[in-house]
Amino acid sequence: MLSTTEAIEAVLAATTASTTETVAADESTGRVLRQIIRAERDQPPFDRVTMDGIAFAWADYESGQRNFPVQGMQAAGDEVMTLRDGQCIEIMTGAALPENANCIVPVERIAVVDGIAEIEPEYVVKKDRYIHPRGSDCAKGAHLLTPGKCVSPLDIAVIASCGETQVDVAKDPVIRVISTGNELVAAGRSIKAHQIRMSNGPALVSLLASHGYDHCEHDHIVDDIDALRERLAKHLGEAEVLVLSGGVSMGKADYVPAVLADLGVEVNFHKISQRPGKPMWFGVGPDGQLVFALPGNPVSALVCCRQYVIPALRKAAGMTETAPVFAALASNVSFKPALTCFQPVKLISGAAGQTLAIPVKTNTSGDFAALSATDGYVELPKDQTNFPAGTAVFLHRWIAR
Ligand code: AMP
Ligand code: MG
């Protein structure tokens, strides 16, 4: 049986890059960049005044002048004025520094009487103070954002500051989420005592959406070989990524692996030495479609989606890898079987600012209320049975892009 590391390596090895599309810059939040964003101009593009006040020449101040006739006013966005000898210009924050000026005194430190600005006697003027020099943040052409960056609201500011109206980003693959099982009944439909509410489909669609993949259609297929063959063939023809849940265990109605094989989906692995999610199946379709068949147990389905499907989608987009995140166990954990344990946790902050993970017990049948209180899960490596409080472990948040 594959280890969790071997399983993720196999998934990533089978994942190829998605195509590129061009989108409006203001609709690119959460998308993965496929181009370099370069500074359009020096930043700031001119010597920028950072205080409301007056601008004058240092040479005049140095020679003892303290009263300056006001030549005029220049606000942000005004054309640059040329300062005349011995005078000052009333200047506003964000304005370009007037020609010949190199000194700013804030408005709080002057008094203007009859058109003459007088500097407070005790105020010490410094040359170049309150001037944000041209190009001091970055030079024209500097690489500000690189391919692989997931566009954040802060990046939107960078893109806008470079004057870009469109950006090249990774095109999301077409993803289908498919619930299998005779017992499943969707919300809003009448349900009998022996039936189960279908929760995996909506939860997987939502988990994918929370990672930015927000156009995933959902289908429900009953445990019937012909129905599975017909519908899965259709989905394989239309989608690039299939995320199935249920029907991959050893039960007599678990037809999913056999039907997928029948449709030309080559099995890459079946079963991972982990809990939950041990029965997971993964294969590659005839046209390179990634087919993830997750166990039906709701905790397993969500963990497997977060652990294997999301990293594959990130790789397809060319997203820059993020550094692993750790948390410290808030209490002792013991785990018997020689499997990697993905333990759902609730996160709190410790007194020293560290992230503490409180293990939350979930019943195997899918204890939704308990799961809903968790922020993610921690990875407890196999071949170790006792994890004392304070042990640093890998943390995977449910929602993190
Ligand atoms: P399976 O992997 O098909 O054997 O399903 C394992 C368990 O998960 C069974 O108790 C199923 O009823 C349950 N299950 C399967 N699919 C879903 C689903 N979409 N929503 C909720 N429970 C499910
Ligand atoms: Mg089933």
CB atoms within 10 A of CB 239: 21
For residue 294, the SS3 value is: strand
**Residue 263 Cα to ligand 2 middle (Å):** 20
Query: What pLDDT is attached to residue 351?
Result: 93
pLDDT score of 154 more than 90:
yes
Closest by CA to 104, choosing from 116, 93, 115, is 93
Average pLDDT estimate for 168-176: 98
Please indicate whether residue 289, judged by its CB atom, sits closer than 6 Å to ligand 1: no
Please indicate whether residue 196, judged by its CB atom, sits closer than 6 Å to ligand 1: yes
The pLDDT tens digits of the residues spanning 102-143 come to: 999 999 999 999 999 999 999 999 999 999 999 999 999 999
| Average pLDDT in the chain | 96
Please indicate whether residue 276, judged by its CB atom, sits closer than 6 Å to ligand 1: no
- Contact call for residues 115 and 69 (beta carbons, < 8 A): yes
Minimum-distance ligand 1 atom for the alpha carbon of 279: 2
Q: Alpha-carbon distance 215 to 226, whole Å?
A: 27
Please report which confidence band the pLDDT of residue 367 belongs to, taking 50, 70 and 90 as the band edges: confident
pLDDT score of 36 more than 80:
yes
The pLDDT tens digits of the residues spanning 376-392 come to: 999 999 989 999 999 99
- Contact call for residues 305 and 317 (beta carbons, < 8 A): no
Q: Alpha-carbon distance 346 to 118, whole Å?
A: 62
Average pLDDT estimate for 6-33: 98
Query: Probe ligand 1: pick from 180, 184, 185, 206, max atoms within 8 Å of CB?
Result: 184
The number of the ligand nearest the C-alpha atom of 243 reads: 1
Query: What pLDDT is attached to residue 22?
Result: 98
Please report which confidence band the pLDDT of residue 365 belongs to, taking 50, 70 and 90 as the band edges: low
**Residue 346 Cα to ligand 2 middle (Å):** 29
Query: Rounded to a whole number, what is the distance in angstroms from the first to the last CA of the chain?
Result: 30
- Contact call for residues 24 and 136 (beta carbons, < 8 A): no
Closest by CA to 137, choosing from 47, 42, 50, is 42
**Residue 264 Cα to ligand 2 middle (Å):** 22
The number of the ligand nearest the C-alpha atom of 298 reads: 1
> For a pLDDT cut of 90, what percent of the chain falls above it?
94
Please indicate whether residue 183, judged by its CB atom, sits closer than 6 Å to ligand 1: yes
Query: What pLDDT is attached to residue 366?
Result: 63
**Residue 343 Cα to ligand 1 middle (Å):** 20
Closest by CA to 256, choosing from 221, 288, 289, 304, is 221
Query: What pLDDT is attached to residue 203?
Result: 97
**Residue 291 Cα to ligand 2 middle (Å):** 17
pLDDT score of 401 more than 60:
no
- Contact call for residues 289 and 240 (beta carbons, < 8 A): yes
The pLDDT tens digits of the residues spanning 210-260 come to: 999 999 999 999 999 999 999 999 999 999 999 999 999 989 999 999 999
Minimum-distance ligand 1 atom for the alpha carbon of 180: 16
Please report which confidence band the pLDDT of residue 400 belongs to, taking 50, 70 and 90 as the band edges: confident
Closest by CA to 265, choosing from 285, 282, 243, 245, is 285
Please indicate whether residue 376, judged by its CB atom, sits closer than 6 Å to ligand 1: no
The pLDDT tens digits of the residues spanning 255-290 come to: 999 999 999 999 999 999 999 999 999 999 999 999
Q: Alpha-carbon distance 18 to 338, whole Å?
A: 37
> For a pLDDT cut of 70, what percent of the chain falls above it?
99
The number of the ligand nearest the C-alpha atom of 194 reads: 1
pLDDT score of 364 more than 80:
no
Minimum-distance ligand 1 atom for the alpha carbon of 201: 19
Average pLDDT estimate for 329-334: 95
pLDDT score of 187 more than 80:
yes
Closest by CA to 4, choosing from 367, 245, 311, 212, is 311
* Structure token pair of residue 104: 């700013």
